[in-house]
Chains A and B, each alone.
Chain A
Amino acid sequence: MTDVRLLGIRHHGPGSARSVVRALDEQQPSVVLVELPADCEPALRWVGHSQLLPPVALLGFVADQPQRAAFLPFAEFSPEWQAFQWAHAHGVPVRAIDLPLAHSLVEARDDTLQLANPPVTDPLAALAAAAGDPDPERWWDDVVEHRGDGAPAFDAVAEAMTAVRGSGDAATVREAQREAHMRKVLRAVLAEGHERVAVVCGAWHVPALQAPLPPAKADAAVLKGLPKVKVGVSWVPWTHRRLAATTGYGAGVQSPGWYRHVFLHPGPSGVSTWFVQAARLLRDRGLSASPDHLIAATRAAGALAALRERPRPGLAEMLDAADAVMAGSTGLALIRRELVVGDAIGDVPDDAPQVPLARDLAAQQRAVRLKPSADVQQLELDVRKPNARSRSVLLHRLSALGVPWGRLEEGRGSSGTFRETWSLHWEPELTITLIERSAHGTTVRAAAANRLLEQSQQASALADLVVVLDRALLADLPEVVQPVVAAVEAHAAHDPDVVQVIDTLGPLARALRYGDVRGTDAGALRRVFDGLVVRVVAGTLMACRSLAPDAAAAMAERLAAVQTALALVDHGARRAEWPAVLTLVAERPDVHGLVQGRATRLLHDGGAWNRGRVSARVSRALSVGTPPATGASFVEGFLAGSGTVLVHDRELLEVIDAWVSALAPDAFIATAPLLRRTFGAFEPAERRQLGLLLDDEVPVAVSGFGGDLDPARAAAALATVRELLGVAQ
């Protein structure tokens, strides 16, 4: 009599994993069947390799379209992984019985990767509800996972699933095909004469595999003529964090670190062991955790489990207990990150087949005609030209991905430049980096986008987000721009410091202004920009009050930056709200002279104040009622490092001249250093002109500023200027 054991598991369930090992030990099967796409079977020859360390994933992809792919992650506590290990240790073959990826990857899907084993929640929910527990995960944990007592658990699971599935019909066509395939392989294995067969599959499928099996003919009909694509399979390193991710390619296992713990430490002592690990972790990071805390936490977890009528503390009780014992400590976040999720990273053998990301990169490199080379190469790009633009985008995407093939030497900083100078250098390490990054996606574009998104989620400062945003724009990743822009908005709102918000306006304005050149969608950007402008308008006056000299100097520059940003996108606030704020800043007595001066200058430049008003304000700043030092700061702020405004405005020049002439000797000595700094910063040509003006001589001509004019180069520029102005040679 053949002995077929159906081991119905929960994917990534640590209790299932232990039960599987126990059941296998007990049965000693001669073959182990696993719910795994049949075409992944060859990849299992790597199992047992010293370098194949979980968490890892099998990656199946359509050979000529690597973005159509599926990841099958395995952790140490995954029942399937344990089944592989057991079979390897006992020299027993493993057969992959699920529908081959060659069929399941046929359907034209969008670029998003599919998880091969989406967590089956519905049957569990039904079972849990029947047992009166609203939380299916917890119910399974209590009833099955925490028991881990081998065969009887599987009998109970089989019985319960049979009850849930009723007649046992598959729910979808795809599921019918998958189960037909599973039965097909099972029949074949039995026909080979195996007497003890173990089948490790999702609990849901158990009823479909139970004896008596339906006629083989029916299954053959279901599987007949299914369309097929060529598929490649490789191993990739995985991480606990990615297992925990609910979006992207995560498996939605919220607590892989905890599951690993439950797998390694079954039994009641697991509770205190876990708290001991937590305490160690905290102490490593310089936080206190005494044995007393451990005892209290262990007892609290036990009391909570009793109160909630659970057989033993689960993760919720552990975390609640930890929370109560160390409330307010930063430790809890640390525990969640390091112990509940964990930073385990897997490893795959060096000689394992190539990952799709590497294939995609090779394809992209061919497309833009750029060859990786071990030598350092210089590359000049004018991104207005299509091929140069594609090259730039690819290089920027690789930088965003953390694969620094090219380094930008010039043209850095904003998306506002057309010219880029790159230095290219392909080092062998980059190949490895690429494989590591392959968990982010199967194409350069998708992987770069995901990595940037991850960075934006981790960013704690506005400045970091602005960097990510800039990268996303340069790398032409509109799918990143939108969420990052939203994050910028949220951060800006919570940043009590309007100064930080001001600093984001510049990059955002550049992105908006020059985004079109690079073909980026600017709608969302514009909304956020508008929102930030509202904040800046509301907060600037407060931020300008009572500043120390250094802070005042920085603030003066920021006011100018805001004005530039507003002008760059021709924002409405430029004409109404912003001048109103500047007017308040310029007039308020508790604002530093430097800032007042700059505000006045900006009002002048923006045309909000006419000459008369400007010179009235300047002369008030320089009148006897104002301390000379304040007046000097005002002048410094007003002139902003250039004398042009004075060259063009005699009236202003006279106001300043009169003030300097009227300074009392003491006051003059006191303000001389400041004045020197102010006027010393002017171009020599400017100073010369001002001198002539003050001597009442009409300057020869208002020529360029540079001291050493090169007539030949100037002539070239003049030709263009003439053309622009339409004046004859």
Chain B
Amino acid sequence: MTSLPPTVLRPHAEHEFAHELAALAAADTRERPPSWRLSPWAVVTYVLGGQLPDGTVITPKYVGQRRLVEIAVATLATDRALLLLGVPGTAKTWLSEHLTAAISGDSTLLVQGTAGTAEEQLRYGWNYARLLAEGPSPAALVPSPVYRAMERGAIVRVEELTRMASDVQDALVTVLSEKTLPIPELGGEMQAVPGFNLIATANDRDRGVNDLSAALRRRFNTVVLPLPADAEEEVAIVERRVAELGAALRLPEVPSSDLEIRRVVTVFRELRSGATEDGRISLKVPTGSLSTAEAISVVTNGVALAAHFGDGRLSAADVAAGIVGAVVKDPVHDAVAWREYLEAVVRDRPEWREFYEACREL
């Protein structure tokens, strides 16, 4: 954990924040559950940020309600599995990575759920060359991330759980309730070391795709991650991510326009919540999720437009098309919602004139 991270585009959390984790571990005198590198209290502090008695500043990773992070950590401490639910872009993956880094010091035990995920990726597979040569033996067994986490008493992450086929998902039932993995081929089983646990993420909007079976759902405590509570918080998240993404994509430098970002965030928030920020006008809520992540992508696209085709300045016209595209997902309902919003709200904001015109022209 203390070794220097290699130069990569995106280092793992436990490398990027190694100094914070070390400082927390040093300052942490509270009781730690078996195999945990930090106490629950220190994990919460790592995620939400704070300052240690020795002056070390812990940066906030997740911006949002404290109680949600507390519920998540308390859940993991009771060795019940944790399911993070939420609309796309609400930092489910982000939070699960940081929780894992803080608790186990290793966020790489990961299964990415897709329609094609096979049971072996949750249990174990075989090295067929060896299997044919030597017959079933521990050496021929290829452990899955879940298997390795059980072995080490670590946390394993399962991303997009509901995208996996239902029967594949159900392979987790025994693992979570018995904390063992039967290996009939070797006539044995793998018994989890204390500290083993699992964090799954699932997208709210995917509900009904491969909904969790009642048996599996019962093994999870669920934390629903909401969209950011206030505009300042959301603007800050968007600004930071846009800057980072812009750098990664090597977009020409475009002066970041606080005005436009604020406008995108305001439009999204108002439509999402069904009311203007001043609470004076009620609005129809469009069907799209209008998440922070979408706001990030609208602004990033706007920056690309401004850089390559515009005057190098992020203008209302650069974000207008992106906003309308994000809002109008359903041609009937959303179109009405958007028209009402445009005419009842946007038109009456003098400082949004340019934006109003740009939207009308689309």
Chain A contact residues, CB within 8 Å of chain B:
288, 290, 292-293, 296, 299-300, 302-304, 306-309, 316, 320-321, 323-328, 489-490, 492-494, 496, 498, 531, 534-535, 538-539, 542
Contact = CB atoms under 8 A, between A and B. Distances in A.
Chain B interface extent, by class: 35 or more
Given A300-B74, A493-B284, A531-B281, 15 more contacts: A292-B218, A296-B78, A300-B78, A300-B221, A304-B70, A306-B40, A307-B44, A307-B74, A307-B77, A494-B284, A494-B285, A534-B340, A538-B343, A542-B335, A542-B336
A327 B217 CA distance: 10
Contacts of B274: 493-494
B332 interface: yes
Interface string B267-296: 000000011000001111100000000000
Contacts of A307: 40-41, 44, 70, 73-74, 77
Contacts of B285: 494
B74 A293 contact: no
B282 A327 contact: no
B349 interface: no
B308 interface: no
B80 A496 contact: no
B221 to A, nearest CB: 4
Nearest to B68: A320
In order of increasing CB-CB distance, the 3 nearest A-B pairs are A493-B282, A327-B222, A303-B74
B285 to A, nearest CB: 7
Contacts of A489: 282
A493 B78 contact: no
A324 B223 contact: yes
Nearest to B66: A308
A542 B284 CA distance: 14
Main secondary structure of the interface of A (DSSP, over half): helix
A534 B282 contact: no
B77 A290 contact: no
Contacts of B282: 489-490, 492-494
B129 interface: no
Contacts of B183: none
Contact of B71 (A302, A306, A324): A324
B75 interface: yes
Contacts of B223: 324, 327
24 contacts: A290-B218, A302-B78, A303-B74, A303-B78, A307-B41, A307-B77, A308-B70, A323-B71, A324-B71, A324-B75, A325-B221, A327-B222, A327-B223, A328-B85, A490-B282, A493-B282, A494-B282, A496-B333, A534-B343, A535-B340, A538-B336, A538-B339, A538-B343, A542-B336
Contacts of B67: 316, 320
Contacts of B85: 327-328
A498 B274 CA distance: 16
Interface in B57-76: 67, 70-71, 73-75
B71 A320 contact: yes
Contacts of B344: 531, 534
Contacts of B336: 498, 538-539, 542
A550 B83 CA distance: 46
Nearest to B223: A324
B224 A328 contact: yes
A492 to B, nearest CB: 7
B214 interface: yes
A328 B340 contact: no
Contacts of A493: 274-275, 281-284
B163 to A, nearest CB: 18
A304 B221 contact: no
A291 to B, nearest CB: 11
Given A300-B80, A324-B223, A538 B340 contact: yes
B274 to A, nearest CB: 6
A303 B340 CA distance: 48
A302 B223 CA distance: 17
A592 to B, nearest CB: 16
Nearest to A540: B336
B303 to A, nearest CB: 32
A274 B224 CA distance: 23
Contacts of A302: 78
Residue in B218, B275, B281 whose Cβ sees the most chain A Cβ within 10 Å:
B218
B281 to A, nearest CB: 8
Nearest to A494: B274
A300 B75 contact: yes
Contact of A324 (B41, B214, B221, B343): B221
Residue in A293, A304, A531 whose Cβ sees the most chain B Cβ within 10 Å:
A304
Contacts of A292: 218
A324 B74 CA distance: 10
Contacts of A320: 67, 70-71
A300 B283 contact: no
Contacts of B335: 542
Contact of A328 (B70, B77, B214, B222): B222
A327 B224 contact: yes
Nearest to B43: A307
Given A307-B44, A494-B285, A538-B340, A293 B70 contact: no
Interface in B199-233: 214, 218, 221-224
A536 to B, nearest CB: 11
Given A300-B80, A534-B343, A534-B344, A324 B70 contact: no
Interface in B332-362: 332-333, 335-336, 339-340, 343-344
A293 B284 CA distance: 37
Given A328-B85, A494-B274, A539-B336, A299 B80 contact: yes
Contacts of B275: 490, 493
B226 to A, nearest CB: 12
Nearest to A308: B70
Contacts of B77: 303, 307
Nearest to B339: A538
Given A304-B74, A534-B340, A288 B221 contact: no
A546 B188 CA distance: 64
A478 to B, nearest CB: 21
A306 B336 CA distance: 50
Contacts of A293: 218
A489 B332 CA distance: 22
A492 B284 CA distance: 9
A378 to B, nearest CB: 44
Residue in B218, B221, B275 whose Cβ sees the most chain A Cβ within 10 Å:
B221
A294 to B, nearest CB: 11
A498 B337 CA distance: 11
Nearest to A298: B78
Contacts of B78: 296, 299-300, 302-303
Contacts of A327: 83, 85, 221-224
Nearest to B333: A496
A496 B284 contact: yes
A613 B214 CA distance: 64
Interface string B310-341: 00000000000000000000001101100110
Given A327-B85, A493-B274, A534-B343, A296 B80 contact: yes
B283 to A, nearest CB: 6
Contacts of A309: 41
B75 A303 contact: yes
A47 B284 CA distance: 54
Residue in B75, B275, B344 whose Cβ sees the most chain A Cβ within 10 Å:
B75
Nearest to B332: A542
Contacts of A328: 85, 222, 224
A717 B67 CA distance: 75
A320 B74 CA distance: 10
Interface in B73-120: 73-75, 77-78, 80, 83, 85
A296 B70 CA distance: 16
B40 to A, nearest CB: 5
Nearest to B222: A327
Contact of A304 (B71, B283, B339): B71
Nearest to B39: A307
Interface string B123-137: 000000000000000
